[in-house]
Chain A
Amino acid sequence: MADEPRLPDLPAYLDAALALVDLPLEPELRPRVLLHLGLAAAMAGEVMTFPLSDEAEPAPVYQP
């Protein structure tokens, strides 16, 4: 089995997730949305690989 990480199947994910949230997307715009989703995935890669403790609080703290 190859060691390199598998690239996520962004087109399949996009189609399934858009169906879940009930949003229309015409075929002509789909490549552009995939471009932005790919960009977000790259950004998320930076965010998710930064080590944070289990106790780290999100910035907005609810005040009842």
Chain B
Amino acid sequence: MSAAPEYATATALTIARAVQDGRTTARAVTEAALARITALDSSLNAFTAVTAARARAEADAVDAARAAGRPLGPLAGVPYAVKNLFDLQGLPTLAGSRINRDHPPAARDAALVERFHAAGAVCLGALNMGEYAYDFTGENVHDGASRNPHDLGHMSGGSSGGSGAAVGGRLVPLALGSDTNGSIRVPSSFCGIFGIKPTYGRLSRARSFPFVASFDHLGPFARTVADLACAYDALLGPDPDDAACTDRPAEPVSARLDEGAAGLRIAVLGGWFAQLGTPAAYGAVAKAAAALGATRTVELPEVGRARASAYIITMAEGAALHLERLRRHPLDFDPAVRERLLAGAVLPAAWVVRAQKFRRWFRDAAHALFADWDVLIAPATPVVAPLSGQQTFVLDGREMLVRPNIGIYTQPISFIGLPVVAAPIPGEGKLPIAVQLIAAPWREDAAFRAAAALEAAGVAFAPEPAV
């Protein structure tokens, strides 16, 4: 079967329409994507497993369905890959670790992988990630760092670093990732792509490897808003296999993108979100605000305490999850992960309970703000991608550790489960940066519409990779 190289870097919707119309085949698109991965992944290190046989079988099934006159799904023939904490039948689910390599192969795909399959998408493999998702850098001591597609010497962002590198580097038009404290929004920012961290409980986490049950979210990445919306819509729906998954009916967003930002009340988040950033971060917010006509700056109260509470809960729940592995396989962890988990294992219980009580207080404060506003704009990261291995950076004149501070703007938002679209706003430098478009709970439509308006204005877009 020959490849269709003209579709190797096409958007998901371009591919799906071409497959549906018979202008190309899912198999030809798959071969083109596999060839591009073979050519470029030695540079990007985005993939930890390429599932070529599975991809070819899925693509052939799509082509057979079309030949038989059966209806095709909205993502027919669209290649994608998943952060390696999603179960893929037949592979052990690594979650970025060495320890999980000894796990038995997954017996069944993750729920979201099954939904992509039902939509006609074709799974090309598993993607690199920070160990056990406790990471903002995209570095991994076992598999090596996934690299930034705009400058290979810089971080991809974590913990869904392979997802960011694969979509930003145009190896696949779609990827799935997870976000506990920023792990979808940080790679979106560093790699210059769109990503959605939905409302907590919106998308099923069934058969994915957890990190912090209170904050774990899953979601897709893409290079256009329409692709992201189509992917998101395909993933919607209740699932009794995830205790936190909502039983609200699906609320798809694709048909609403054309509404743009008309009628949306949009403000800029100040206070905490206007401190510790660099001009690149503030410049992106200013551009987005201007394009969306957002002239007011508003504040959430007590954001520092929100971030502190998220930090405590993350350490404690993460440690509880890994306690037995910390006992039995201490030296198989990345030391940078283990040292935080060990500290988390000894935190007084009252700190954690208090943080969960503060979480409800902060949620109520956010609800009050959303009585007057539909979308709040904030930076996604304080900086563009740091150099690979960089340990410190200077924010507001203070030298600070890179690892815990990349997520200063994302962590307080996922703490209360608000939906966020990360929208890339490239500036003058070669490294992009993104803004967060934050909406009220269950109002992904508002965040998507704001992103679509920014894209239509030419302000938000995924820049060409350097690879």
Contact = CB atoms under 8 A, between A and B. Distances in A.
Interface of A: 13-14, 17-18, 21-26, 29, 32-37, 39-40, 43-44, 46-48, 50, 52, 56-60
6 contacts: A22-B327, A33-B342, A40-B347, A43-B308, A44-B347, A59-B360
Contacts of B363: 59
Interface in B298-345: 302, 304-305, 308-309, 311-312, 315, 323, 326-327, 330, 335, 338-340, 342-345
A36 B340 CA distance: 6
B254 interface: no
Nearest to A17: B346
Nearest to A44: B351
Contacts of A40: 311-312, 315, 343-344, 347, 351
Contacts of A43: 308-309, 311-312
Nearest to A49: B305
Contacts of A48: 350-351, 354
B223 interface: no
Contacts of B302: 50
Given A36-B339, A36-B340, A52-B361, A46 B308 contact: yes
Contact of A25 (B342, B355, B357): B342
B404 interface: yes
Contacts of B312: 40, 43-44, 47
Contacts of A60: 214, 356
Given A32-B339, A57-B360, 4 more contacts: A14-B343, A23-B323, A23-B342, A59-B363
B454 to A, nearest CB: 31
Contact of B353 (A29, A35, A58): A58
Contacts of A50: 302, 305, 358, 361
Interface residue SS majority, chain B: helix
Contacts of B357: 52, 56-59
Contact of A59 (B323, B345, B356): B356
B359 interface: yes
B327 A24 contact: yes
A30 B113 CA distance: 40
A13 B327 CA distance: 19
A43 B315 CA distance: 11
A46 B360 contact: no
A39 B354 contact: no
Interface of B: 214, 302, 304-305, 308-309, 311-312, 315, 323, 326-327, 330, 335, 338-340, 342-348, 350-351, 353-361, 363, 404, 416
A13 B357 CA distance: 25
Contacts of B350: 48
Nearest to A55: B357
Interface centre among A39, A47, A57 (most CB of B within 10 A): A47
- Can you list the 9 inter-chain pairs with the closest CB atoms, starting with the nearest? A17-B346, A36-B343, A43-B308, A58-B356, A59-B359, A32-B339, A37-B343, A46-B308, A44-B351
Contacts of A17: 345-346
A32 B401 CA distance: 13
A42 B351 CA distance: 11
A40 B360 CA distance: 20
Nearest to B338: A29
Given A50-B302, A50-B358, A60-B214, A29 B339 contact: yes
B305 A47 contact: yes
A37 B309 contact: no
B326 to A, nearest CB: 5
A35 B177 CA distance: 30
B443 to A, nearest CB: 19
A28 to B, nearest CB: 9
Contact of B354 (A23, A29, A52, A57): A52
A18 B345 contact: yes
Given A32-B335, A40-B312, A46-B304, A59 B214 contact: yes
Given A23-B345, A29-B339, A47-B308, A52 B356 contact: no
Nearest to B356: A58
Given A33-B339, A43-B308, A18 B351 contact: no
Contact of B358 (A18, A33, A47): A47
Contacts of A35: 339
Given A23-B323, A40-B347, A47 B354 contact: yes
B451 to A, nearest CB: 28
Contact of A23 (B214, B305, B326): B326
A58 B360 contact: yes
B346 A18 contact: yes
A36 to B, nearest CB: 4
A47 B351 contact: yes
